[in-house]
């Protein structure tokens, strides 16, 4: 079993403007850099073997600020990216959220579906399990990254995860136990 701690990247310039970045490689805001340092303080007591993050700069810089002084390997992985919103990239978040249930299995116009994200996160987890079984890692990602992690580490249907309100936390750290047998199943989506 692998212990995995997940946190979303710190506040980006698009977050402050209410835009959904998707694959757009936007930087952290000034407030986001402060949040990233605070996130590192929250993780200080956790014994970690490595940190994995999306290769988009808002996640990579969050990881570097939060964990850089600990001497942990920080590994960037494109499979941990946000959902590709395609032609809706950087649209207002409210507009993206409005039709999100439609994009669980159907790709965003010119982009990808949440199901596609969950499949790539599953690929990441299967590889991670082979190398880090019995260890603890942190993952810094995005909203869709969390959907993938939550799907593979629970028995909650994907559509329930996606359609539930985002769970905000004062300390944005979620803990998952990754079990090899759950990573062998197929992704199942029920009618929405």
Task: List all residues 6 or more positions away from 104 whose beta carbon is below 8 Å from its beta carbon.
Answer: 113, 114, 115, 158, 159, 162, 189, 192
Q: Is there a domain that residue 189 lies in?
A: no
Does some domain include residue 15? yes
Report if residue 169 sits inside a domain.
yes
Whole-structure pTM value: 0.94
Domain CATH number, residue 14: 3.40.50.1240
In a domain, 192, yes or no: no
**Residue 167 confidence class, pLDDT cut points 50, 70, 90:** confident
The reply to whether 162 falls in a domain is yes
Q: How far is CA 135 from each of CA 50, 61, 94, rounded to the nearest angstrom?
A: 9, 24, 38
**Cβ(140)–Cβ(66) under 8 Å?**
yes
Q: How many domains does the chain have?
A: 1
Where in the sequence is the domain holding 71, given as residue range(s)? 2-184
Q: Does 145 map to a domain?
A: yes
Q: Is residue 190 part of a domain?
A: no
Tell me if 191 is assigned to some domain: no
Rounded mean pLDDT, 150-166: 91
pLDDT at 86 over 70: yes
Is residue 191 over pLDDT 60? no
How far from 42 is each of 35, 113, 174, CA to CA, in Å? 11, 32, 12
Which among 9-13, 97-101, 179-183, 188-192 has the top mean pLDDT? 9-13
pLDDT band at 101; cut points 50, 70, 90: confident
| Beta-sheet strands, E only, within the chain | 2-8, 50-53, 74-76, 136-141, 174-178
């Amino acid at each position: 079993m692998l212990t995995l701690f997940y946190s979303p990247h710190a506040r980006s310039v698009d977050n402050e403007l209410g835009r959904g970045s998707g694959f757009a490689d936007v930087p952290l805001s000034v407030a986001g850099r402060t949040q990233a340092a605070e996130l590192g303080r929250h993780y200080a007591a956790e014994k970690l073997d490595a940190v994995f993050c999306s290769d988009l700069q808002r996640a990579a810089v969050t990881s570097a600020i939060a964990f850089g002084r600990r001497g942990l390997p920080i590994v960037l992985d494109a499979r941990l990216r946000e959902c590709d919103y395609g032609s809706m990239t950087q649209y207002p978040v409210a507009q993206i959220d409005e039709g999100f249930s439609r994009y669980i299995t159907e790709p965003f116009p010119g982009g990808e579906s949440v199901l596609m994200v969950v499949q790539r996160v599953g690929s990441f987890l299967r590889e991670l399990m082979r190398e880090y079984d019995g260890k603890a890692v942190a993952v810094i990602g995005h909203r869709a990254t969390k959907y993938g992690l939550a799907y593979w580490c629970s028995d909650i249907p994907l559509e329930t995860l996606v359609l539930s309100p985002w769970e905000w936390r004062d300390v944005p750290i979620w803990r998952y136990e990754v079990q090899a047998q759950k990573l062998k199943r197929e992704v199942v989506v029920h009618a929405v």
